[in-house]
Structure 1
Amino acid sequence: MDILAVIFTGIIGAVFGSFMNVLIVRVPKNISIIKPASYCPQCMEDIAWYDNIPVISYILLKGKCRHCKKNIPIMYPMTEILTALLFVVIYLKFGLSLMFFKYIIFVFLVLVVSLTDIYTAAGDFETGMIPTVYIALGIFIGLIFAVIEGYFVYYLAGIAGGYLVLFFPAYLYSKIRRKEGMGEGDFMFFAMIGAFTGLGSIPAILTFSAFFGIAAGLIVILLTKNKNYPIPFAPMLGVSAIIYVFFYELLNSYNWSSYILN
């Protein structure tokens, strides 16, 4: 194992995580990701480059803004660390290969969609938000890799399968209960996931997502006593998709249809 390559991959992951924070916070508010430069959301003062180094600056500043001394949201370093770790794990699993580049792009998109959904659901928005630009870009890039790998139809079927497997239950739910149970953004997100993982991944990812969704729902009910509290589903899909990427050999050995149908 090349230690320098692992360290470099981690640094790149942290940098991507820092950029991801910009996307998560600015895109839902229709703020340019280029201008203005990074600034403290509390006092609005510009952040100098040496205070904007992923993870390190947070540690050196002890988690506080240099200007107003208010706490820097823990979301920022946690996103950078998470992205760095996932990039390293992808490198360790796939090495410097086509699959490495495919899955760091995939994981980046999955994280930015999932975290944006959480951020908007918890923030000053009525519901979670999944910007369609990420979905369109992800499907486009996924199909490029599909062509390179020579399995275009398989991954195209993954797009259709990911969308439809959520669309039909949600459609029936809306007709029976007279209210929306899942947003179209979730269908589109699963379609994007299918563009990278293919049709065969759909049962496993769906099973894990349902399990995580039920677990999250029970936790929220216990903590809030509110049975109608909206829970973003995109993060469940995102976590499940990342698990699939790392353990697809094992997961593909199971008959997932039996778990779903029984």
Structure 2
Amino acid sequence: MRHVPVNVINEDSSYCEPNWASVEDFLAGEEHEEKEKRKYKELADGNPSNKIYAEKYKNHLDNVSKFRRIRDIFGPGSTYHPNQLVAKCHLPPAGLCEKEIMYRLACKVSELRTLQEKRYLIMDPWDFLRWRIATKVQEHLSHPGDRAHSFIKSVIMRLWDANDGSNRNTYADPFMRKAAMLAADLSNCSKRYNKGKTGRRPTKKSTTGLKRGRPKAPTLEEAREAKRRARRERLAAQPATQIYSGVNAFIANRKRAQSTK
């Protein structure tokens, strides 16, 4: 977070890099998606047997929904900007103003707002999100001066996903997943985070190219990752502090309610 401005930046801010993509330029594409959505809806309705029209309509419909969510969180009047998520040195060359990244962030800020509105989260949702991402980034930096620009997008996309036997995820954060599951429960969307689900569409696993034989010795990077994983497990085993009072408060209240029944 070092050197990141406290106040939200705009396209004219001296902090912005000239090669960063623009939130404003991205949101300007919403009108085009709306037109394409209407066009392919008419075509799909007039040609119900045409799967291409139906698929294109669904694609543009999804894009319009993503634009609206992104505009709600990062649009005009917002106090948040994607490129203030982490320090500038950890950003990719074009920044973070791209559709899937901003949509993922916007959805999670919206979920955290639910916790804040229900008084389960004290921190500002954006600050809470930045803190947890910064913590996860730090776990993957081996030496002082290392940068996260090569994997920051993976952290953003996978921070809330499960990390278990069927879904190995070194970027998982159990605290963020717990918060997301609580928000989903409060919004009556608990099926989104059923056991074994990540909250995203699963990718198909390839069964080609599998080799048999003696397993290879772990590489240097795998050995380092094993040490990092052991360290994370030790930290996770330590008692939670008052920093997580939002989620903990919910659990405590639920236990008290059950004991009074």
Structures share fold, TM-score greater than 0.5 = no
Larger Rg: 2
What is the TM-score normalised by the length of structure 2? 0.33
Name the one with the larger helix percent.
1
